[in-house]
Chain A
Amino acid sequence: MSQLCEDMELLEGFLTETTELLEKMDDDLVTLEKSPDNMELLNSIFRSIHTVKGASSFLGFELLVKITHKTEDVLNRLRKGEFQVTAEIMDVILEAVDLIKLLVNDIRNGEIVERDLDYVIDKLQPYISGNFAEATVLTQPPQDTSTAAAPVAEEASPPAGETAAAAVEPVTRPEPVSSTPTPPPAAAKPAPSKPAAGRTEELADNTTVRIDVKRLDDLMNQVGEIVLERNRILQMNVDYQTRENMVNFGDEFGKLAKRIDFVTSELQMQVLKIRMIPVEKVFKKFPRIVRNLSRDLGKEVELEIIGEETELDRSVVDEIGDPLIHLIRNALDHGLEQPEERVAAGKSRTGKVVLSATHEGNQIIISIKDDGRGIDPEKLARKAIDKGLVTEDQVAGMSQKEILDLIFLPGFSTKEKATDLSGRGVGMDVVRTNIRKLNGIIELRSEVGAGSEIILKLPLTLAIIQSLLVEVEHEVYSIPLAAVLETLKVDNSSFHYIGGQEVLKLRESVLPLMRLQRVFGVTERSEKSSQSYIVVIGVAEKRIGLIVTRLLGQQEVAIKSLGKYLAKAPGIAGSTIMGDGRVALIIDPAGVIEMDDSGGMGSWAA
């Protein structure tokens, strides 16, 4: 069995492929339920599960073989038109797919756990046992769950028409199957125990990348160009040292600098693109989640997904999954009404949730919009007061928007009755924390009776960012542009003080201000001028104005970590190296706003 596991590459390949297939299958199954006559889709699902079965049999994962085999049988019968696709069958199949995922996860974690498959198999059984000859074999599945003892459990009977793929399986049924040069190596082997210890972590989902060959070729081309330019530099250096060909040196050097600038930015784009994956990776889980939720909640929901091909950085994709699940749950649970209620309100029975993703400059905008009951600011404010999160007086002074933002407070939950789906009062707080971590902005729009929309604005990547360089008393800091909303130059006389907090009246709202030199302890050297520059930054739903000495301009910077000893310096997200070789610190907008919060004031101003 060890030789099985020695081939980690094989195992990794299996895990990657299986995970992909299973993810796609979820989506496909939900689609199939809506269009039961789509034979093509059904066939594709069948092929996927068959592939998983074949591969797991080859690698000797017997529990997997057992369950995939049963699922495949049910699908096969569906395919032959012996049943109609119904919600009940789908429930069972989806449950089986969940179990398969669980088993695959066990393998990924390197721990084969003896799991009880019978509860699912028993549910599948009624759909399998019927009249067909091959089904009779399957009516007596070995009851012992100790797979270690059982050589590949049931006499696997690959359905007709799939004989080629069946080659890797031990075949005992009478039907002639072309014997294969591959002996069934996995068949007789006991379930592998642990894949080499220590590798478990690396097997996590997103550690391997599949890259479009074309992108790789493009990258190679860019590297080729860089090499050319390097040769050119070397040549010019020789010329310079020997004082030959010096006539056009200045011009040539200028051209070279431009070309290098061009090639490196192209190269940077290429590498970024390679790190990009479509947001579909996250989105494709949702049809399934929405289906289950709507069944549980007794609501009729239509989910529309727009722009799933929008690409963003892997690191961002990894982080937005959980917040999106929360938001979708909220939309279904709190947002949409029961069908009767909808009809009474003059809406269609079926509620609609739109999940969309688009690019906007260097940001990606993800929106979750429902046409439900919307959020009633008065109810929301009342709730917040009841919970002791705010006082009546505070609410009285708040704008509509500020009241809506109360929903992001920790410990807030508006639904009278917390369901097990949502409503424990952690949801929005978690969302906010996650979005903040990504330097994103979150906005909430809502209209009573018409629905609500939550908009997430996220940076495309976390490795290289656009930033605004500012000077604070002769020290240069870089502020991620994604968090910068606007910059202002204002007269110091327009500052106001509210309870010791400096604020600025900006259009309709009151903006709390923060002097960077104070929080960062910079010695004040320059003399006071009557005007100040203010950089308005926003994180999640919060806004704050940073007072700086000068604005230096916009620049694309590569983020460098400060190392483990300084990584946690408050208000600092990292550092970057400037053109002159100096290090400039990158401000962590979320951290800065928090520092302000801990100062006691300003936590309310939005």
Chain B
Amino acid sequence: MATASNFKKDETKAELIQLVSFNLEREEYGVYVLKVREIIRMSNVTRVPNTPYYVEGVINLRGKVIPIISLRKKFALPEAETDKQTRIIVMDVDGELMGFIVDAVSEVIRISSAEIQPPPAAVNGGLDQEYLSGVINRADRLLVLLDLERVFSKAERDSLMSSAA
């Protein structure tokens, strides 16, 4: 319950955090900038057979082979053609590099941690609550804060690591 007084009090000790915001379908999302290693253009993805549907494949990132996840597929959004805007956000997930395909990356924004509100319970239906770490409601925009370290549920992580067969 963010009453006015509460809000004010929070703000005094709230820290400033930076988010990379990106688009997927028509929604805007954000991830902590510190987790982002780099943002690259779409490159040749090699398909890896017998992996979960949202694993697009692997790419060569300067001599290192990293897995690529399609967030569209993961979020059950309709597939889209790769265009000039399409980017891969390379993130550090549990000490391993992993790339996520998004429609477009817009900017780095600064927000106060106090602005982050817990995700509304209603979202439950669409996305898995697990990696939804909050929403930021600014005058004209709504930003969904993702914790991509948890983009795989525990069960998924286990199944990935112990073979997908």
- Chain A interfacial positions (CB closer than 8 Å to B): 475, 519-522, 560-572, 575, 577, 581-585, 595
Bound CA span A570–B60, Å: 21
Give A580's nearest chain B residue, CB to CB.
B44
Given contacts A568-B164, A570-B165, A583-B60, A563 and B67 within 8 Å (CB-CB): yes
Give A522's nearest chain B residue, CB to CB.
B49
Question: Contacts of A583 on B, CB cut-off 8 Å?
Answer: 44, 46, 57-60, 65
Question: Contacts of A568 on B, CB cut-off 8 Å?
Answer: 160-164
- Chain A-chain B contacts (Cβ-Cβ < 8 Å), number: 82
Given contacts A521-B49, A585-B46, A569 and B163 within 8 Å (CB-CB): yes
A581 near B60 with CB under 8 A, answer yes
Question: Contacts of B162 on A, CB cut-off 8 Å?
Answer: 568
Question: Contacts of B161 on A, CB cut-off 8 Å?
Answer: 564-565, 567-568
Please, what's the 1-or-0 string for B132-165, where 1 marks a CB less than 8 Å from any CB in chain A?
0000000000000000000010000100111111
| Distance to closest chain A CB from B156 (angstroms) | 9
Question: Contacts of A564 on B, CB cut-off 8 Å?
Answer: 96, 161
Q: Would you mind naming 25 contact pairs between A and B with Cβ atoms under 8 Å apart?
A: A519-B49, A520-B49, A521-B49, A560-B65, A562-B58, A563-B67, A563-B97, A564-B161, A566-B55, A566-B58, A568-B161, A568-B163, A569-B51, A569-B163, A569-B164, A570-B163, A571-B49, A572-B48, A577-B60, A577-B63, A582-B46, A582-B60, A583-B46, A583-B57, A583-B59
The 7 closest A-B pairs by CB, nearest first: A520-B49, A568-B163, A583-B46, A570-B165, A560-B65, A575-B65, A565-B160
User: B58, B163, B164 — which one has the most chain A CB atoms within 10 A of its CB?
Assistant: B58
Q: Within 8 Å of chain A (Cβ to Cβ): is B20?
A: no
Bound CA span A577–B161, Å: 23
Q: Which of B41-81 contact A (CB under 8 A)?
A: 44, 46-51, 55, 57-60, 63-67
Q: Within 8 Å of chain A (Cβ to Cβ): is B98?
A: yes
Question: Contacts of A565 on B, CB cut-off 8 Å?
Answer: 67, 96, 98, 152, 157, 160-161
Give B165's nearest chain A residue, CB to CB.
A570
Give B45's nearest chain A residue, CB to CB.
A583
Question: Contacts of B49 on A, CB cut-off 8 Å?
Answer: 519-522, 569, 571-572, 585
B58 near A575 with CB under 8 A, answer yes
Give B66's nearest chain A residue, CB to CB.
A563
Given contacts A562-B67, A577-B65, A584 and B46 within 8 Å (CB-CB): yes
Question: Contacts of A522 on B, CB cut-off 8 Å?
Answer: 49
| Distance to closest chain A CB from B119 (angstroms) | 25
| Distance to closest chain A CB from B122 (angstroms) | 31
User: B49, B96, B164 — which one has the most chain A CB atoms within 10 A of its CB?
Assistant: B49
Question: Contacts of B160 on A, CB cut-off 8 Å?
Answer: 565-566, 568
Bound CA span A577–B43, Å: 14
Question: Contacts of B152 on A, CB cut-off 8 Å?
Answer: 565
Bound CA span A500–B46, Å: 31
Question: Contacts of B67 on A, CB cut-off 8 Å?
Answer: 562-563, 565-566
Bound CA span A364–B63, Å: 29
Bound CA span A353–B53, Å: 54
| Distance to closest chain A CB from B90 (angstroms) | 12
| Distance to closest chain B CB from A44 (angstroms) | 48
Not counting A519-B49, A564-B161, a sample of 19 additional A-B residue pairs whose C-beta atoms are within 8 angstroms of each other reads A475-B46, A522-B49, A560-B63, A562-B48, A563-B67, A565-B160, A566-B48, A569-B48, A569-B163, A569-B164, A570-B165, A571-B49, A572-B49, A577-B60, A581-B60, A582-B60, A583-B46, A583-B60, A585-B58
Bound CA span A568–B67, Å: 13
Question: Contacts of B164 on A, CB cut-off 8 Å?
Answer: 568-570
A560 near B64 with CB under 8 A, answer yes
Give A558's nearest chain B residue, CB to CB.
B63
| Distance to closest chain B CB from A377 (angstroms) | 35
